[in-house]
Amino acid sequence: MDIERAGGRGANQLRPIDCSRDVLSRAHGSANCSHGETRVLAAVFGPKAGTKKNENPEKACIEVIWKAITGQIGKIEKEFEMILKRTLQNICLLTVHPNTTTSIIVQVVHDDGSVSFPGLFVLFYRLSRVLMVLRSFPLVSLCCCLTESGQILLDPSKLEEQKMKAFVCLVFPSSIHSITPEESTPATTTEQEIITSLTHGVMTVDDYFHCVEQGRAAITPLSNILKKKMRSQSAGGNYSSKAA
């Protein structure tokens, strides 16, 4: 039995996306992004000389601070900090700026579900512009959930998350065809890799891979949004779009 979603959204339909770049004058890079009612502000500071304690001085250090709406740092915020830091360490060339520290601050302005998604693909892009070269193509991140009946919903709202059996957030390499259409490059296995996977709840292996398949199907439209955002940088201003 299919679940009726708010606004008549389909199971694989994303909420409207809105992004603004360089909204903070003192940050080296920043983005204010929303996905439906969920809004996240992300800022990049650095690289600055010196590394944190217990970090390798021969590589760049990445510091992530995840701030909740309440201002209190709990278990969930610490988990997001760890996941985002490991993701960035995996895609960044840390030897480009050795013995430096770059701080990434993510402020959740409003949480209406899928809070790990909005702003992240723009954050990855901003990092590539102001921090260091990325190993991978620009990334896209999305969330999906599994209902008790086994139906998969992309981009769940907060209410949908609370009613779901399980929840997964996935980060994929973006489709290189939609990012750089002028450079016709054959598809590679890199485009099918999963950079990060974060799950909550209980699901079978088959259900998990069904979520991965749904996520891969959404890579191209999300990549198209990223492409338009990247092109709008030179023209200045913001970009908003609805993803089907």
- Average pLDDT on 107-130 reads 68
Q: 């199907």: which residue's tokens?
A: 217
For residue 9, being part of any structural domain is answered with no
Give a yes or no: residue 244 inside a domain. Answer: no
8 within some domain: no
CATH number for the domain including 183? 3.30.230.70
pLDDT tens, residue by residue, 25-51: 888 888 888 888 888 888 888 888 988
User: Measured between alpha carbons, how far is 24 from 58 in angstroms, rounded to an integer?
Assistant: 30
Q: Tokens at residue 110, please?
A: 């409003």
pLDDT bracket for residue 116 (50, 70, 90) = low
pTM of the model: 0.78
Please indicate, yes or no, if residue 200 is contained in any of the structural domains. Answer: yes
Question: Per-residue pLDDT tens for 63-106?
Answer: 999 988 877 778 888 888 898 888 888 878 888 888 999 898 98
Specify if 25 maps to a domain: yes
Is residue 4 in a domain? Answer: no
Give the pLDDT confidence score for residue 151 in this predicted structure: 92
**Owning domain of residue 172:** 16-233
Q: Is residue 84 part of a domain?
A: yes
Report if residue 1 sits inside a domain: no
Domain count, the chain: 1
Q: How many CB atoms lie within 10 A of CB 205?
A: 7
